Amino acid sequence: MHPFLGNEEDDTIPKKAGGAGKRPPRLIIAAVNPILSISRLSKTYASGLHALDGVDLEIRRGEIFALLGPNGAGKTTLIGIVCGLVRASGGEVRVDGRDIVADYRATRALIGLVPQELTTNAFETVWATVSFSRGLFGKPPDPAHLEKLLRALSLWERRHSPMIALSGGMKRRVLIAKALSHEPRLLFLDEPTAGVDVELRRDMWALVRSLRDTGVTIVLTTHYIEEAEEMADRIGVIDKGRLVLVEEKAELMRRLGTKQLTLQLEHALEQVPAALAGYRLQLAGGGSELVYTYDAPGERACIARLLKDLDAAGIRFKDLHTAQSSLEDIFVQLTRTGSPP
């Protein structure tokens, strides 16, 4: 855990709902009282382009939610609306139960944003940039908090450098420090690791996890599917302004992920024998490989039977291996066809 992150409890509930001191389990609170609640959100830009079209989404307290989608899908627009940078054309957004338009200052103070585009004053120092950000939210100066933040992001040695003298990866870390300077409860990371080297990407993942461990809710967009696969509790896929899927990552992988068993045959076949027609089998490698595709748990149980039936049919194999479809395969299918594979 990073030292600057403290140990604040975010999900305290009002006394009247909580009863005599006994707190309901965290999961129940998370389900009934989402940190972010978006309903029927739409955005039509002046050009007439429908960037968002009736988006409904709830973000649970303390989760890491990854929003995936191709270029132009509407991810940055959605984040921009929640952060008050883009005006919605319709719908409603609530942060911690409060409307973002009617209660702008209070809701905005709960949010941290690491924007997709790097925009900072080139000649300002790292320290000035980050402390100014905190001040914007009306928080009193807290040099000790900023020091912990800069140390945790390996920026402390560079605190007197002007922004212009930093590398791209360092600038991105300054943006993260800025976004965390006022101790937000909900952090948006819009492609936080675009153009960042592998090592720094791993550091950022660790940082995001440690933030989550202290109760900060995280919504990130990414084009690196492995990032979502590695980090997210839930995944949303947006395409052409519509949310086409929201699901637990583990459930998504279980439901949509298919597996393949490939058998390297001793003798090539010209066609799948009729006796094996009940299995999802295909020949590959010019008949020298037999590929069995299975996804449902029931089909998995068929492997032993398949091997017996192969033996009975006189089909021998010299080697076998299995492969599992990745989140990337699932994502490509979803955004190409608009429906799950």
Ligand X SMILES: Nc1ncnc2c1ncn2[C@@H]1O[C@H](COP(=O)(O)OP(=O)(O)OP(=O)(O)O)[C@@H](O)[C@H]1O
Contact criterion met (CB below 8 Å) for 269 and 80: no
Taking CB under 5 A as the criterion, the residue among 55, 76, 229, 330 binding Mg ion is 76
Structure tokens belonging to residue 321: 């291996």
- Give start and end residues of each alpha helix (H) in the chain: 15-18, 26-32, 75-82, 104-109, 126-136, 143-152, 168-180, 198-213, 225-231, 249-256, 297-300, 303-312, 327-337
Other beta carbons less than 10 A from residue 182's beta carbon: 20
| DSSP code for 287 | G
**Residue 45 touching ligand X (CB under 6 A):** yes
Residue 286 is encoded by which pair of tokens? 């010019």
Q: Residue 62 or residue 74: which is nearer to ligand X going by CB?
A: 74
Q: Minimum CB separation from Mg ion for residue 73, in Å?
A: 8
Residues ≥6 apart with Cβ < 8 Å to 60: 30, 31, 34, 35, 217, 234
Note whether 116 binds ligand X by CB under 6 A.
yes
Q: Which stretch binds Mg ion (CB under 5 A): 19-27, 44-52, 67-75, 308-316?
A: 67-75
User: Minimum distance between the CB of residue 332 and ligand X, rounded to whole angstroms?
Assistant: 15
- What is the C-alpha separation between 216 and 214, in angstroms, rounded? 6
Exactly one of 9, 20, 71, 138 binds ligand X (CB under 6 A); which one?
A: 71
Of 140, 166, 138, 137, residue with least CA distance to 153: 166
Check the CA dihedral 157-161-166-171 and report its sign: positive
Q: Could you write out the DSSP letters of every residue in 32-93?
A: HS-SEEEEEEEEE-TTS-EEEEEEEEEE-TT-EEEEE--TTSSHHHHHHHHTTSS--SEEEE
Out of 17, 28, 32, 49, the only residue in the binding site for ligand X (CB under 6 A) is 49
Alpha-carbon span 124 to 122, nearest angstrom:
6
Per CB under 6 A, the segment of 44-52, 149-157, 242-250, 306-314 that binds ligand X is 44-52
Least separation in angstroms between residue 12's CB and ligand X is: 34
Binding segment (CB under 6 A) for ligand X, from list 69-77, 90-98, 195-203, 328-336: 69-77
Residue 24, binding choice from Mg ion, ligand X, none, Cβ under 5 to 8 Å by partner class = none
For residue 312, the minimal CB distance to ligand X (Å) is 53
Looking at beta carbons only, is 155 or 238 nearer to ligand X?
238
- Examine residue 72 and tell whether it contacts ligand X (CB under 6 A): yes
User: Per-residue contact track with Mg ion, 190 to 219, x per CB under 5 A?
Assistant: ------------------------------
Stretch that binds ligand X, among 42-50, 209-217, 256-264, 306-314 (CB under 6 A): 42-50
Given 62, 74, 112, 192, the residue binding ligand X (CB under 6 A): 74
End-to-end CA distance of the chain: 39
- Cα-flanking dihedrals φ and ψ of residue 100, to 5°? -75, -20
Contacts 24+ apart (CB under 8 A), 129-135: 129/163, 129/174, 129/178, 130/174, 130/177, 130/178, 130/181, 131/181, 133/178, 133/179, 133/181, 133/182, 134/181, 134/182
Nearer to ligand X, 188 or 279 (CB): 188
Q: Give the x/- contact pattern for ligand X in 76-95, rule: CB under 6 A.
A: xx------------------
What is the contact mask toward ligand X in residues 15 to 34, using x (rule: CB under 6 A)?
A: --------------------
Does 335 sit near ligand X (CB under 6 A)? Answer: no
User: How many residues lie near ligand X (CB under 6 A)?
Assistant: 13
Q: Does 75 bind ligand X (CB under 6 A)?
A: yes
CB closer to ligand X out of 147 and 328: 328
Q: Which residues bind ligand X (CB under 6 A)?
A: 45, 47, 49, 51, 69, 71-77, 116
Residues that bind Mg ion (CB under 5 A): 75-76, 116
